[in-house]
Structures are given as structure tokens and as C-alpha cells.
């Protein structure tokens, strides 16, 4: 009884478009619940469309009814959509485009990618057509992961849609969707090769980065470095040398330091670029920095090492032993080693700092580090070790001043609070 009352109550809706859509939605729910009144609901929905005065709204109502019928599993919905496709040709292009966009959107909601593409191709406005085709490609990419058994079918659908996307940035975005499809299928070479065909600079950069990071995540990046380098060089020749830095940074962030450094070496001011990249890597993901530093030659490693160690000493939380070790192994420059020794001190690894200091041949640097060690030990109230460190300072005068300072500071710590102000008398 309630069902009949609900159906009867729909008549109070004054807007015929909303009334028709409501009847259809009720029909869908009744059909899925296997209630016999669903046929009457759909019939009333179709009849109500005749009351709609606006042809665009009429067609959109029919599409909505067809959508509800499809969800209810009623095959007659196909005839409704076909009728809209044919009958709407009488509309002016802008109005028909609205109808065809709605039809494509409903098809995508139903998972009918091929049908969605068919309706998209009926859209006369190039921008809107490209947007709908791109939406179809994205929906198709999502289906690939769920329906692996229909791989070839879905790939054909994406390629078909891409053929009709004729302007940027939509075409580049479409290629990106096809790349994602190939990656999800494990067809990495096909995905990599498509990057070079992207026409939009920003999307080319995005695609390169996403592919590199995806392959890194899958732990197969090292198998495809040559292919990616070829793509990078192709993009650089098209977009200019400044694009090399972006490609190099993508390699570096993926943990592939050697191809990153090789790309940068081809540029003017390469050392400045290497320094900026190293500092940025340190701040974004210091785990990838050792690979980058290890790819540098002696001269590059010295310049980069100084900059990186300066930044680490400013903000020790950015550092790691792996980064510091990589810098130490890549250069014999004693100024860099002295900075490494300071990092040991900051991290309270005094013995490590002393070992590094013992490798320094330049007396001034060695003395400065030993003095730093002495001061650090004194702060920890380890007076004897502080004196031993101070004695290691080669300059006799510097060493003597340092020992004197340590002894006086130790004495102050010992008698602090015990000293009585002198009033001029012995007693």
C-alpha cells in the first residue's frame, strides 16, 4: 500500500523534469527490490517527459531515466540512449553538446567506457569534447587494474579516445593516462617510450617524475635507467637545457645519482646547480643524497661537501651518518673533513671526531678541531679528557691558553657557591 501512496504522491511535484527523474529513481529501487510496480513507475517517468517544455531538459530527463533503467538491469535503456543520440541532432550545437556530455557522464557512471567515447565524439565544442574524452580515459585506467582479463580491450579504448584528443594540455594528459595504464600492466618500456610524445612541458616533467618514482617503488628502476636517460635527453633537446635540471632532480630523488650528475655536467654553471640540488635533496629526502654525492668527482664533491656540511651543522637534524660518510669518502679536502669532525662533536661522538682530526695534516684545522673537542668535553665536566685534547693542539701558545682556560673553568665549577666575597681582611 505504501508503494502506491509514494507513486501517487509524486504527482504533487510541479517541475515535470524533477517529477520524471523521481519516477525513474523510484522505478529503479522497486526493480532492484523485485517489486512489480517498477514498470508503472518507469512508464509514468516516460509519460512525464512529454510535459517538459525545454527540449534540452527533455533529453536530459530521458538520459536520467535510461540511467535508472540501466541500474535496474532493464535492457530497454539502450533504446532510450540511442533515441536521444538521434533525435537530439535537431538541436543547435551548444545545446546538443550539453546533452551529449550528460550522456557520456552517465555512461562513465555505468562503466560503459566505449559508449561514453561514442557520445563524447558527438560533442562539437573541442574543449568540452577533449575534457570528456580525457574523463573516459581516466575511468578506463581505473578499470584496467580491476579487470586484468580485458587488458587489450581497455587499451584499445584508451588509444581510441587519445586519437581524438587534439589540443594541449588535454592530449598530454591523455598520454599520461595511457602511460599509467602501461605501468599498471607491467609494460614499463611502453610506458617510458610514451613520455617523449608528450607535448606539454609541465606534463612531460610530471610524467617523467611519476614513471621514475613508480619504477623505484617497484624496485626495478635500475633496469630502465638507459631508457629513461634516452627520454630525458629527448625532452631536453625539445624543451631546452634548463629542463635538464628538472630531469636530473627526478633521477636524484629516485636514488639514481649517476644519471642525475651526468645530466647536470652538460650545463653551464654545473657546480652551482649540483650544490643547489644537493642542499635541496638534503632537506627533502636525505636518504637519496649518498647516491648523488658518490657520483661526484673530487672537485665537485669538495664544493658540494662544504655546502652540505655547512647546512647540516646549521640544522643537525637534517644530517645522517650515511650522508656524512658519503661526503667523507668522496673528497680528500681537509676543510670538508674538519666540518665532518664538527658534526661528530655535535652528535657527541668525541672519539669519532678525534679520529677524523688525526687524519688532518693541516695544523691549523687540526688544532681548531681538538680545541672544539676540548671545549665539548669541558661542558660535560670531563676535565682530564679535555686537557688531553688541548695538549694535542700543535701550537704551543694556543695549547697553553686552552689548558689554562680549562683549568680555570674546572676550578670555577668546583668551588661555585663556596666563594665568600673578600672584605679586605684575612679573617
Please report the pLDDT score of residue 147 as a whole number: 58
Query: Contact 158/178 with Cβ under 8 angstroms?
Result: yes
pLDDT per residue over 284-337, tens digit each?
Answer: 999 999 999 999 999 999 999 999 999 999 999 999 999 999 999 999 999 999
Query: Contact 55/96 with Cβ under 8 angstroms?
Result: no
Distance of CA 338 to the CA centre of its chain: 37
Per-residue pLDDT band at 373 (split at 50, 70, 90): confident
Please report the pLDDT score of residue 370 as a whole number: 80
What are the boundaries of each domain within the chain?
1-90, 268-332, 344-417
Per-residue pLDDT band at 414 (split at 50, 70, 90): low
Distance of CA 46 to the CA centre of its chain: 48
Per-residue pLDDT band at 241 (split at 50, 70, 90): confident
Please report the pLDDT score of residue 125 as a whole number: 96
Length of the chain measured in residues: 427
Query: Contact 373/357 with Cβ under 8 angstroms?
Result: yes
Judge whether residue 196 has pLDDT over 70.
Answer: yes
- Tell me which of 7 and 252 has the higher pLDDT: 252
Please report the pLDDT score of residue 411 as a whole number: 67
Per-residue pLDDT band at 381 (split at 50, 70, 90): confident
Q: pLDDT above 70 covers what percent of the chain?
A: 91
Q: What's the chain look like in SS3?
A: CHHHHHHHHHHHCCCHHHHHHHHHHHHHHHHHCCCCCHHHHHHHHHHHHHHCCCHHHHHHHHHHHHHHHHHCCCCCHHHHHHHHHHHHHHCCHHHHHHHHHHHHHHHHHCCCHHHHHHHHCCCCCHHHHHHHHHHHHHHHHHHHHHCHHHHHHHHHHHHHHHHHCCCCCHHHHHHHHHHHHHHHCCCHHHHHHHHCCCCCHHHHHHHHHHHHHHHHHCCCHHHHHHHHHHHHHHHHHHHCCHHHHHHHHHHHHCCCHHHHHHHHHCCCCHHHHHHHHHHHHHHHHHHHHHHHHHCCCHHHHHHHHHHHHHHHHHCHHHCCHHHHHHHHHHCCCHHHHHHHHHHHHHCCCHHHHHHHHHCCCCHHHHHHHHHHHHHHHHHCCCHHHHHHHHHCCCCHHHHHHHHHHHHHHHHHHHHCCCCCCCCCCCC
CA angle 395, 398, 401 (to 5 degrees): 145
Judge whether residue 120 has pLDDT over 80.
Answer: yes
- Asked if the bond preceding 385 is cis, omega within 30° of 0, the reply is no
Per-residue pLDDT band at 395 (split at 50, 70, 90): low
Query: Contact 367/339 with Cβ under 8 angstroms?
Result: no
Query: Contact 306/339 with Cβ under 8 angstroms?
Result: yes
Per-residue pLDDT band at 35 (split at 50, 70, 90): confident
Query: Contact 132/120 with Cβ under 8 angstroms?
Result: yes
Please report the pLDDT score of residue 408 as a whole number: 75
pLDDT per residue over 197-206, tens digit each?
Answer: 999 999 999 9
Please report the pLDDT score of residue 146 as a whole number: 65
pLDDT per residue over 155-168, tens digit each?
Answer: 888 999 999 999 99
Please report the pLDDT score of residue 425 as a whole number: 53
Please report the pLDDT score of residue 162 as a whole number: 95
Considering only CA atoms, which of 104, 59, 57, 64 is closest in space to residue 83?
59
Rounded to an integer, the average pLDDT of 263-280 is: 94
For the record, the C-alpha cell of 296 comes out as 661526484
Query: Contact 113/153 with Cβ under 8 angstroms?
Result: no
Considering only CA atoms, which of 247, 267, 265, 269 is closest in space to residue 256?
247
- Tell me which of 381 and 31 has the higher pLDDT: 31
Q: What is the mean pLDDT of the chain?
A: 88
Judge whether residue 244 has pLDDT over 60.
Answer: yes
Query: Contact 20/65 with Cβ under 8 angstroms?
Result: yes
Please report the pLDDT score of residue 259 as a whole number: 94
Please report the pLDDT score of residue 423 as a whole number: 58
Judge whether residue 4 has pLDDT over 60.
Answer: yes
Rounded to an integer, the average pLDDT of 78-103 is: 95
Rounded to an integer, the average pLDDT of 372-383 is: 76
280 CB-near residues (< 8 Å, 6+ apart) = 249
Amino acid at each position: 500500500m505504501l508503494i502506491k501512496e509514494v507513486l501517487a504522491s509524486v504527482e504533487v511535484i510541479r517541475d515535470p523534469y524533477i517529477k520524471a527523474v523521481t519516477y525513474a529513481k523510484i522505478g529503479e529501487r522497486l526493480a532492484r527490490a523485485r517489486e512489480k510496480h517498477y514498470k508503472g513507475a518507469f512508464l509514468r517517468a516516460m509519460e512525464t517527459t512529454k510535459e517538459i517544455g525545454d527540449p534540452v531538459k527533455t533529453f536530459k530527463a530521458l538520459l536520467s531515466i535510461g540511467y535508472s533503467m540501466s541500474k535496474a538491469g532493464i535492457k530497454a535503456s539502450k533504446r532510450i540512449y540511442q533515441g536521444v543520440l538521434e533525435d537530439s541532432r535537431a538541436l543547435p550545437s551548444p545545446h546538443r553538446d550539453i546533452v551529449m556530455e550528460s550522456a557520456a557522464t552517465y555512461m562513465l557512471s555505468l562503466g560503459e567506457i566505449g559508449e561514453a567515447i561514442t557520445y563524447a565524439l558527438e560533442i562539437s565544442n573541442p574543449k568540452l569534447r577533449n575534457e570528456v574524452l580525457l574523463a573516459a580515459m581516466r575511468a578506463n585506467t581505473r578499470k584496467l587494474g580491476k579487470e586484468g582479463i580485458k587488458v587489450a580491450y581497455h587499451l584499445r579504448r584508451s588509444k581510441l579516445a587519445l586519437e581524438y584528443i587534439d589540443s594541449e594540455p588535454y592530449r598530454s594528459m591523455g598520454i599520461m593516462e595511457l602511460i599509467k595504464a602501461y605501468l599498471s600492466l607491467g609494460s614499463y618500456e611502453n610506458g617510458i617510450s610514451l613520455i617523449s610524445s608528450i607535448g606539454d612541458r609541465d606534463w612531460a616533467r610530471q610524467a617523467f617524475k611519476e614513471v621514475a618514482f613508480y619504477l623505484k617503488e617497484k624496485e626495478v628502476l635500475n633496469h630502465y635507467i638507459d631508457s629513461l636517460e634516452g627520454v630525458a635527453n629527448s625532452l631536453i633537446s625539445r624543451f631546452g637545457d634548463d629542463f635538464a635540471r628538472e630531469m636530473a632532480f627526478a633521477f636524484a630523488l629516485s636514488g639514481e645519482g649517476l644519471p642525475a650528475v651526468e645530466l647536470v655536467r652538460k650545463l653551464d654553471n654545473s657546480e652551482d646547480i649540483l650544490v643547489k640540488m644537493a642542499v635541496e635533496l638534503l632537506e627533502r629526502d636525505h636518504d637519496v643524497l649518498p647516491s648523488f654525492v658518490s657520483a661526484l668527482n673530487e672537485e665537485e664533491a669538495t664544493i658540494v661537501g662544504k655546502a652540505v656540511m655547512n647546512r647540516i651543522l646549521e640544522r643537525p637534524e637534517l644530517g645522517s651518518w650515511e650522508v656524512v660518510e658519503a661526503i667523507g669518502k668522496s673528497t680528500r679536502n681537509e676543510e670538508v673533513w674538519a666540518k665532518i669532525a664538527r658534526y661528530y662533536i655535535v652528535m657527541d661522538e668525541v672519539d669519532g671526531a678525534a679520529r677524523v682530526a688525526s687524519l688532518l695534516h693541516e695544523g691549523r684545522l687540526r688544532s681548531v678541531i681538538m680545541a672544539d673537542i676540548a671545549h665539548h668535553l669541558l661542558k660535560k665536566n670531563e676535565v682530564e679528557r679535555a686537557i688531553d685534547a688541548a695538549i694535542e693542539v700543535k701550537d704551543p701558545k694556543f695549547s697553553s691558553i686552552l689548558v689554562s682556560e680549562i683549568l680555570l673553568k674546572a676550578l670555577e665549577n668546583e668551588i661555585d657557591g663556596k666563594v665568600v666575597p673578600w672584605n679586605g681582611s684575612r679573617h
